[in-house]
Amino acid sequence: MSKVTVAKSAGFCFGVDRAVKMVYGELEKNTNVATLGPIIHNQDVVNDMQAKGARIVDSVEELRPDETVVIRSHGVGRDIYRQIEAKGNKMLDATCPFVSRIHKIVAEKTAEGYFILIAGDRDHPEVQGIVGHCDENCLVFKDNFELKAFFEKNYKNLQKKLAIVAQTTYNIVVWGECLNVIPKDDPDIVIYDTICNATDARQSDAAELAKNSDIMLVVGGRHSSNTVKLYEVCSRFCKTYHIENADELRTLKLPNANIIGITAGASTPAYIIKEVQTKMAENEILAANQDEEIDFAQALDESFKKIHTGEKVKGTVIAVNNTEVIVDLGTKHTGYVALNDLTDDPSKKPSDIVSVGDEIDLVVIKVNDAEGTVALSKRKVDEQAGYEKIVKAQQEGTVLEGIVQNVVNKGVTLTVMGVRVFIPASLTGLPRGAELDQLLKKKVEFIVIEVSEGSRKRAVGSIKAVQNAKKEEAKARFWETAEVGKTYTGKVKSLTSFGAFVDLGGIDGMVHISELSWKRIKHPSEVVNVGDTLEVYIKDLDKEANRISLGFKKAEDNPWEIFKANYKVGDVVKATIVSITSFGAFAQIIDGVDGLIHISQIADQKVENVKDVLSVGDEVDVKIIDIDPESKRISISMRALLDDADEDEAAEEEAPAEDAE
């Protein structure tokens, strides 16, 4: 028994689907319809349209005066638009949005003086349409070999910047090979990734299926570029057959196969794919679920199902770009979900929220039958579901998270689960009068304290309540383990004239100014700043008063202890004058330890005014003459060194007389 598997992304892409639905929609109300060339490369669909009254014309000149002309999904050049306008016919533009994007790119870059390189089949209508939006400064290349030849022969003499685009159905493997040919890091070359993501997905899915299949069937028109490329992709991995419809299966001599894969081009309707799948499953168990005759007309009728504004619908994502999501609703309309109707999070892109193939719940915002489009919203559906969750969160006191989006009058707002939450300034957790802008774009935790009912689903939240709860929890944990002498790492929260408050993790302790440094300081900012991380220890605790006294300076850093360990009475040291008084001068011996040079110890003669002899900043040699450990006072003398010198000199003078005796 063979297993038959259809690739997930097989069949109509949204651009083709949109074009087909636009034609059928117009035929419902107007039989005077002409398509400029076959609307898609699928003869079965084209035949059905002709049966319903549509004509195929090859040029604008062939249009009848009363006919509505439909531009097919491949798009056309600027001259064609001008000709239609001049002729005066009503026009429906079914150009695929991805193709229109390429038209815009090449037109803008041409106007900027760029030379345009187009990867694709120069005979394909889409490529011809792209060329029609350029001037003579453009070139179509089919593969990496032609592109390499261009760079080797023409690029150096071109003296123009390059803009490179690709046909939306271009082979992604060949495109990768082309990228390897393009000079790297050339500032004059701009590359645009214009291969339709549906094409990319279709080719990738087909390749994966082919790798795991014995044979592959590629269903689609003989002239369909993307179908031919699918055939090329699948042929790399297994025996592959290209057919237009199920009838062609009779002419094939298929080998026995355990696994059969089916994929289809962008112009292949779902009913043709299903016919092929059913015929392949004949006489198999799979056929038990597929023995109903497929009626194209019935399938078409189902696609014309009416939808209305406000209606809830399900849609399957068929394309995702940077600004919107396109969905298949199973009707003649193409559904569009704009980014602001997809999510309330401004930081997210459509691809962050949905992927091709996802089925999502939506609500209809606007229906445009003339263009065959429907504006949809996922956000509104999410809002209702989110509102119910918000109500539950309020009832249960659940802590929620959200990013502050706006600063408004008297507060801030954010959106959570599709519901707008207002947080008054008094409940933001910021001090009174603080700038609310500091919360903008920040993630915050809050609880819901009030929910409004009715059509305007709004809520009021409190950040402060969560902060207070966390503080109480932190306090409880702290007091359970706190003890004098225990060390903590904390962050300086604020400074006052008398000390620094340190956050120990939800509870604050204070380092008194006298505990910040062994030196005398006038303000804590001389040692620490707000935001600094400190290692502190508990000096004292008062749980009832909720007071925590902290120490910062360490015993081993005590300058007095360092001095005692390294100096003694009688030592001669260098000292720097730091202040002058009427009774002497203070000089720094080491950092944090000063000694007093009394006025009587400055010179060996009377000094009337200290400033006549010494100035702040002077470096002098002194002798330590006294150390008082209890009062931590040090007396030093310059005069003592002079006296010592005199004694030495006197001793030298007496020495010869003694020798003479």
Report the binding-site residues for isopentenyl diphosphate.
41, 74, 124, 224-226, 267
Going along 543-649, which residue ranges are E strands?
Answer: 547-551, 572-581, 584-590, 593-598, 619-628, 633-637
At position 82, the amino acid (one-letter code) is: R
Residue 126: active-site member: yes
Q: How many angstroms separate the CA atoms of 225 and 128, rounded?
A: 13
**DSSP-derived 3-state class of residue 402:** strand
Q: CB 351: neighbour CB atoms within 10 A?
A: 13
Element (H, E) at 4: strand 3-6
Q: How many angstroms separate the CA atoms of 15 and 97, rounded?
A: 7
Q: How many angstroms separate the CA atoms of 127 and 249, rounded?
A: 32
User: Binding site, residues?
Assistant: 13, 41, 74, 96, 124, 168, 196, 224-226, 267
Structure-block tokens of residue 188? 């004059």
Residues sharing a CB contact under 8 Å with residue 104, sequence separation 6 or more, in sequence order? none
As beta bridge partners, residue 315 has: 360
Please give the torsion angle defined by the CA atoms of residues 593, 596, 597 and 599, in that order, rounded to the nearest 10 degrees: 160
Among all chains, which residue has been given the structure tokens 């707000």? 530
As beta bridge partners, residue 367 has: 374
Among all chains, which residue has been given the structure tokens 């290349």? 141
Q: How many angstroms separate the CA atoms of 612 and 609, rounded?
A: 6
As beta bridge partners, residue 636 has: 597, 624
Catalytic residue (choose from 26, 126, 244, 324): 126
* 621 close to 615: Cβ distance less than 8 angstroms: no
**H runs (alpha helix) in 420-558:** 463-481
* Distance, C-alpha 167 to centroid of its chain: 29
* 260 close to 280: Cβ distance less than 8 angstroms: yes
User: Binding site for dimethylallyl diphosphate, residues?
Assistant: 41, 74, 124, 224-226, 267
Looking only at the bridges linking them, the beta strands covering 547-551 and 508-512 are parallel
Q: How many angstroms separate the CA atoms of 84 and 91, rounded?
A: 8
What's the residue count for the chain? Answer: 661
Q: How many angstroms separate the CA atoms of 660 and 647, rounded?
A: 21
**Measured CA distances, 48 to 27, 38, 595 (Å):** 11, 12, 109
User: Binding site for [4Fe-4S] cluster, residues?
Assistant: 13, 96, 196
* 183 close to 191: Cβ distance less than 8 angstroms: no
Q: How many angstroms separate the CA atoms of 208 and 213, rounded?
A: 9
* 525 close to 517: Cβ distance less than 8 angstroms: no
As beta bridge partners, residue 549 has: 510, 540
Among all chains, which residue has been given the structure tokens 């760079």? 151
As beta bridge partners, residue 404 has: 414
Catalytic site residues? 126
